[in-house]
């Protein structure tokens, strides 16, 4: 997409290039700069007042975008870091607390009245393999494992791991979206 306007700019008429300067807020900064460079290359004179107006329009748009991106966490680096830490700690506290509660309240699975699990027998596995091949056996084992993640104490471990991943993802994204002036 960046190359599309770079190849298109030289083909535009002077009036169309001036439209980029007159309506700078409606175009990407790179497109406006490319239009300005093309006008200069063609030898067009651009009054300094017009250039100042274009620069001011671009600066105000960038300032508005920066204010919108930092609105929730703040724009001051110290406040922003403190809020990121607090939100991350809140995610960890809620998730790990829930995991602990689930772990403590989980009951062991009820025993099968047959005394054994039919899915664990060699006969059952052999029939699975005959009807669906080795892939059928693997898919069945994966499905049983995945279903086991959402029951009892395994659910508590699953919630704890997902909480850690969520907190890490939030922290990573929040620190990477920091305003340009802030050290990461």
The 10 Å Cβ neighbour count of residue 9 is: 19
Give the CA distances from residue 137 to residues 123, 124, 169, in Å, rounded to whole numbers and listed in that order.
Answer: 12, 10, 35
Phi-psi map region of 43: left, alpha, beta (phi>0 left; psi -120 to 50 alpha): left
Give the CA distances from residue 171 to residues 19, 62, 70, 157, in Å, rounded to whole numbers and listed in that order.
Answer: 42, 24, 15, 21
111 by DSSP, 3-state: which?
coil
Question: Does the predicted TM-score (pTM) go above 0.85?
Answer: no
CA distance 18 to 179: 31
Same domain, 58 and 110: no
Report yes or no on 35 lying in a domain. Answer: yes
The residue segments making up the domain with residue 55 are 2-69
Same domain, 90 and 171: yes
Same domain, 108 and 167: yes
Tally the domains of the chain.
2
Same domain, 94 and 162: yes
The 10 Å Cβ neighbour count of residue 163 is: 19
Question: What confidence tens digit (pLDDT) does each residue in 65-85 have?
Answer: 766 655 677 767 888 889 999
Over residues 144-157, mean pLDDT: 92
Question: What confidence tens digit (pLDDT) does each residue in 93-124 have?
Answer: 999 999 999 999 998 888 888 888 888 889 98
The 10 Å Cβ neighbour count of residue 175 is: 15
Report yes or no on 183 lying in a domain. Answer: no
CA distance 44 to 7: 20
Average pLDDT along the chain: 85
């Amino acid at each position: 997409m960046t190359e599309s306007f770079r190849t298109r700019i030289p083909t535009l008429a002077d009036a169309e290039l001036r439209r980029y300067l007159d309506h700078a807020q409606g175009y990407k900064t790179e497109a406006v700069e490319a239009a300005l460079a093309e006008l200069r290359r063609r030898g067009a004179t651009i009054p300094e007042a017009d250039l100042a107006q274009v620069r001011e329009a671009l600066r105000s748009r960038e300032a508005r975008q920066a204010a919108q991106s930092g609105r929730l966490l703040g724009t001051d680096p110290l406040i922003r870091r403190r809020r990121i830490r607090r939100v991350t700690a809140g995610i960890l506290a809620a998730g790990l607390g829930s995991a602990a509660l689930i772990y403590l309240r989980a009951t062991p699975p009820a025993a099968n009245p047959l005394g054994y699990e039919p899915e664990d027998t060699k006969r059952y596995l052999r029939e699975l393999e005959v009807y669906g091949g080795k892939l059928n056996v693997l898919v069945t084992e994966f499905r049983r494992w995945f279903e086991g993640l959402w029951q009892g104490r395994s659910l508590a471990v699953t919630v704890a791991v997902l909480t850690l991943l969520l907190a890490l993802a939030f922290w990573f994204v929040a620190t990477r979206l920091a305003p340009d002036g802030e050290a990461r």
